[in-house]
Structure 1
Amino acid sequence: MRELQRKGWISDQHGAWTMMALPPLLGWALSLTFVWMVVLMLVAWAMAFQMFSAVCLWVKTPTKRRGRIVPAILTYSVLAAIPGITLLAMRPQLLWWAIVFAPLASSALFLVWKGRERSLGARAASILAGGIMGPVAFALATADGSPAAVTPHAWAACTVFTLHYVGTVPLVRSMIRGRKDPRWAMGATLFHACCTLGVTAAWWFGALSIWPALVWVCLTARAWVMPTLSRTRKRPLSPRLIGFTEIAWSALLFVVLLIP
């Protein structure tokens, strides 16, 4: 596995796998329809994600060792292009999404090139780019794939889910690299509190059910409790425990966002 990661065939960011897969699956689930073109989009997106990960690895790898990553980049580029071009030929309206997606992906790649891969900006740009695939999947499943086809409920649900992943960046940082700095926990808690107000407003105006708002209250509480526990214990919370906990929260939020 490590050899495959060094050569760019597998992403070394384990948490990125759920961030890649769940947003488009949420958008598709919200549509309540089965369209085979969404399957084609999921294949193209998975291959594009792998290609992007390989390109990021190539950018931050010393020049002498970059050659071993090129086969992965070329392979994933072809595997993404075949379903991607086919899909665009049938649904050219999908190109409208590039107006938002391209700047986000480019910003993330630029920050990786500048050696700031772990910065909040790079992480947030990557997560937001992936989050766009939720509305894309919904629009493709229900209409022609254009942004205008996304309903207010789908926009709200996909946005809430994406913000959850954005919030995991400072939260995980507060328990690992920034464990001794309480400002990370304060920032993560403040971010979650603001998002909770936004989700509550979405429920108040009828865009979401009450359940996502209740889950976000719990997410805000865990944003303070878990870093505090990790900071005050003799042994901090393990990365494995943190990772599985975040997967559980993501799964719970995914489910409640499907409640009408």
Structure 2
Amino acid sequence: MPIKDREDRVGRVKQGRKWIPDQHGAWAMLAVPFLAGTFLAPRPGWAHAVLFAAWLLGYVAVFHAQQWLRLHARGLRSARRHALPAVVFGAAFAVAGLPLAVLHPWLAGAALLAAPFVAVNTYHARRGRERALANGLAAVVPACGMLMVAAGLGGLGPARSWPPAVACLLYFAGTVPYVKTMIRERNSRGYRAGSVAYHALALAAAAALSPWLAIPFTAYLARAAALPGRGLRVPVVGAIELACAAALLATLPAAF
């Protein structure tokens, strides 16, 4: 391959990566509750694939819109690079999501329930406080609520879908303070104590939902107590969290 062609190809790859958020923890939070709800539903079908695509497209569109808002509020020209992805992904979300909303009008109501949490995230993005604890917790709620949406689309009612949704909420809410103890708040004893205390309470709450959940949540508590302060690199921290999320996804069908 000629050098110029190779350089052009590398440039296109790098540009494409700018369109896809590199928030690895967010992708797990988006996927695990949705997939769990799909697996638990008695009638999974093609609509789940379309809804999953709309869900991911909507996330990427909102991500770029919030990044544009954050940078534009500071008068930075770099905000422009987020405008086109926000429009493109927003249009793709509409193409995927609107037909589903017509077939299943209750999905529009579910989207409205998520709106206040998106508003909180947008507020923090505009203020440049995306790493705030409240912002992270606000993002967790609608992501875990998607378990009930996916389950409902497959015929599983709220009476049976809320316990696994709460289990997801207990885990992903705990990742917010835990990851801070591993990276940005690695030297904070207060954050570390708070994270361990939360995980102990989450273990008790999860075990009350199902004894099966005591297995992964005991591991979550152990990692919250043992790993901070050990100097693990960010990729290692991320890999451990992916394994923890996978363990939750594997346990939920047995628990519920």
TM-score of the pair, normalised by structure 1: 0.87
Map of 1:59 onto structure 2: 69
AA aligned opposite 1:188:
S
Say whether the 8 Å CA contact 2:170–2:206 is kept in structure 1: no
Once the two structures are superposed, the pairs formed by residues 55-204 of structure 1 within 5 Å of their partners are: 55-61=65-71, 62-142=75-155, 149-152=157-160, 154-203=161-210
Pairing partner for 1:37 from 34, 40, 47: 47
2:246 and 2:148 map into 1 onto residues whose CA distance is: 18
Report the RMSD for the aligned CA atoms in angstroms. 1.6
AA aligned opposite 1:29:
F
Pairing partner for 2:31 from 8, 15, 21: 21
1:140-173 deviations in whole A, cap 9, x for unaligned?
1116xxxxx2233x21112211221111111111
Map of 1:206 onto structure 2: none
1:223 and 1:128 map into 2 onto residues whose CA distance is: 21
1:236-258 deviations in whole A, cap 9, x for unaligned?
11111111011111111111111
Q: CA deviation at 1:5?
A: 5.0
Secondary structure of the corresponding residue to residue 177 of structure 1: coil
Structure 1 residues without counterparts, runs of 5 or longer: 144-148, 204-209, 231-235
1:213 to 2:221 alignment? no
- Segments of 4+ in structure 1 off by > 6 A? none
- Farther off after superposition, 41-50 or 25-34: 25-34
Map of 2:252 onto structure 1: 257
Secondary structure of the corresponding residue to residue 132 of structure 1: helix
Map of 1:243 onto structure 2: 238
1:11-30 deviations in whole A, cap 9, x for unaligned?
13122111111211110011
1:75-130 deviations in whole A, cap 9, x for unaligned?
00110001211011111112222342110111111111112100011111112121
Q: CA deviation at 1:132?
A: 1.3
AA aligned opposite 1:156:
P
AA aligned opposite 1:217:
T
Map of 1:207 onto structure 2: none
2:252 and 2:91 map into 1 onto residues whose CA distance is: 35
Task: Report 1 or 2 for greater relative contact order, CA contacts < 8 Å, sequence distance ≥ 6.
Answer: 2
The 3 A distance-change label for structure 1 pair 50 and 101 is same
2:90 and 2:112 map into 1 onto residues whose CA distance is: 21
2:80 and 2:184 map into 1 onto residues whose CA distance is: 31
1:36-57 deviations in whole A, cap 9, x for unaligned?
1111111111110110111121
Q: CA deviation at 1:2?
A: 5.3
2:220 and 2:25 map into 1 onto residues whose CA distance is: 18
Q: CA deviation at 1:202?
A: 1.7
Secondary structure of the corresponding residue to residue 24 of structure 2: coil
Say whether the 8 Å CA contact 2:70–2:125 is kept in structure 1: yes
Say whether the 8 Å CA contact 2:61–2:85 is kept in structure 1: yes
Secondary structure of the corresponding residue to residue 253 of structure 2: coil
Secondary structure of the corresponding residue to residue 178 of structure 1: coil
TM-score of the pair, normalised by structure 2: 0.88
The 3 A distance-change label for structure 1 pair 214 and 68 is closer
Secondary structure of the corresponding residue to residue 257 of structure 1: helix
